[in-house]
Chain A
Amino acid sequence: MRSLKLYCAALLAALSATTAMADEVQVAVAANFTKPAERIAAEFNKDTGHKAAISLGATGKFYAQIRNGAPFEVLLAADDETPQKMGKEGLTVPGSEFTYAIGKLVLWSAKPGVVDGQGEVLKKGAFQRFALANPKLAPYGLAGEEVMKKLGVFDAIQPKLVLGENISQTWQFVATGNAELGFVALSQVAKDGKVAEGSAWIVPQNLYSPIRQDAVLLARGKGKAAAEQFLKYLKSDKAVAIIRSYGYELP
C-alpha cells in the first residue's frame, strides 16, 4: 500500500514537471534562422524574463505538425507562402504576420579559391558534386535553381546535384567537403556580415526572387503574453541588429 502511494506521488510529480511553465513561448523556427533565433531567445529571456523554447526544422514539416495539433505558438517560417496558406486554413491569428528577415543566397565552398567573386565557377562546371536544398521543399533551393536557370547552367549542373532535405543538411554536405560547393544561406556562413570561411559568391538579388521569411502568431498563441511579446521583441532594434549581423536584410 505504501509503495502504491509512493508510486502515485512520483507519477504526479512527473506529470506536473512536464506541463509547460506559465510564461514560456513555444517557437517553431526555420532551419536557416537557427543561429540568430538562439541569440534573440537568450536576449529575450534576459530582457523580459520570459522563456522562448525553440524548435528547429523545415517549414513544410512544421506546417504538417501544426495542422495536426503541435503545441507551437509562434512560427518563424522560411518563406511567406506557408504563413499565408496557414492563415487561410485558420491556423494563425489574422493580421499578425510580418517579414522578419529577407534571406540572402550564397554560392559557397568550404575550400578557399573554389568559388570566385563572380560565380564564374558555375559556367566552368569543374566539380563533381553540387549541393542544393531540395527545391520542392526549401525556399533557398528554389532560389538556387532560379539562379542556375537564369545563368543557363541548370541543365549542365543537374546531373551533379545532391539534394539536402533542408538548408542545414545542404550546408553539411558542403562543409564536410562531400560536395565541393553549393547554394546555402548567407546566415549559415556569415559572421558579422562577412563570409568567415572558404570561398563564396553572394548572389546578386536580381538573379532570384526575394526570400521573404515571415513570422506569424499561431492560433494556439492567441492571447498569450509571452508569445505576443516575443513577436514584438523580434521587431526591436536589438533583435534587428542581431538579424542583420547574420547577413539577412530587412524590408
Chain B
Amino acid sequence: MEPTTFDFAPIWLTLRLATAATLLLLLVGTPLAWWLSRTRSWLKGPVGAAVALPLVLPPTVLGFYLLVLLGPQGPGGQLTQALGLGLLPFTFAGLVLGSTLYSLPFVVQPIQNAFEALGERPLEAAATLRAGPWDRFFSVAVPLARPGFLTAIVLGFAHTVGEFGMVLMIGGNIPGATRVLSVAIYDHVEAMEYAQAHWLAGGMLAFSFLVLLALYGPGKRILGNRP
C-alpha cells in the first residue's frame, strides 16, 4: 500500500468525535452519577436502568430511534429546527449527541461507584469544617473519586472510538463529517479492499488493547484503587 494514498481523515475524525463526546459525557455524567450515588428517591431505579440501557441494546436500536426522533417529523428534529440548529442526523454534532447517549453507562457507572465508595464520612467531616456543598463536592468528593473518573474517561473515549452500529444508522458516511474509523473499515471490507481494511483494523486492535492494558495492567497501579 502506498502511504500517500492512505486516508487519515477517518482517524482524525474519530479522535475528534471521541474527545468531544468524552467532554460532554463528563459534564452530563458527573452530576448524574453524583445524584444516583446519593439519592434515596424511587427514581433511582428507573434512571439507573435507563442509563444502563446502551449496555444491552443493540446500537442499531439507538441509531434507529435517533434517526426517527431527530428527523424532520420527529419531536427532536422539530426542536432543533425551531432552535435554528437544523437537523442533526448526518452531522458531526449529531454523532456527538448519539455517542454521548451510547457511552453514558461507561462514564456514569465508574464515577457512581467511586462516589458510593466514599461513604458519608469524608463529606460529613468536611461539613464540620464548614465547607459548603460545592466546596465539599470539588475539594473532597471529586479528588477522592479520581480513579473512578480516570476509568470513566478511558472507557468513554475508547467505547466511542469503537462504536459502529449507531454511527452507521445516523451518519450517512460523509467524508470528514461522519465517516469514522469503524465505518471506513466496514466500507473497505465490503468493497473487498482487504489491504486498507487490515491497516485500519489492525491499528484499532492495537489501540484498544493498549487502552485496556492501561486500565487493567500498569495503569491500575498508577491510578490506584484506593483513594
Contact = CB atoms under 8 A, between A and B. Distances in A.
Interface of A: 58, 60-61, 63-64, 128-129, 131, 134, 136-137, 161-165, 169, 172-173, 176-179
Interface stretch (B35-43, B65-73, B211-219): B65-73
Nearest to B194: A64
A197 to B, nearest CB: 14
Instruction: Indicate the member of B67, B68, B172 with the most A CB atoms within 10 Å.
Output: B172
B192 interface: yes
B192 A162 contact: no
A178 B94 CA distance: 12
Contacts of B173: 134, 162-165
A163 B174 CA distance: 7
B174 to A, nearest CB: 6
Closest 5 CB pairs of A and B: A162-B172, A163-B173, A177-B72, A60-B190, A176-B71
Interface residues of B, number: 20
A137 B191 contact: yes
Contacts of B191: 60, 136-137
A128 B89 CA distance: 12
Contacts of A165: 168, 173, 186-187, 190
Contacts of A177: 71-73
Interface in B164-193: 168-169, 172-174, 186-187, 189-192
Nearest to A131: B172
A134 B172 CA distance: 10
Contact of B73 (A58, A63, A176): A176
Contacts of B186: 165
Interface string B51-92: 000000000000000011011110000000000000101100
A61 B89 contact: no
B29 to A, nearest CB: 28
Contacts of A169: 168-169
Given A129-B90, A177-B73, A64 B189 contact: yes
Contacts of B187: 134, 136-137, 165
Contact of B190 (A128, A129, A137, A173): A137
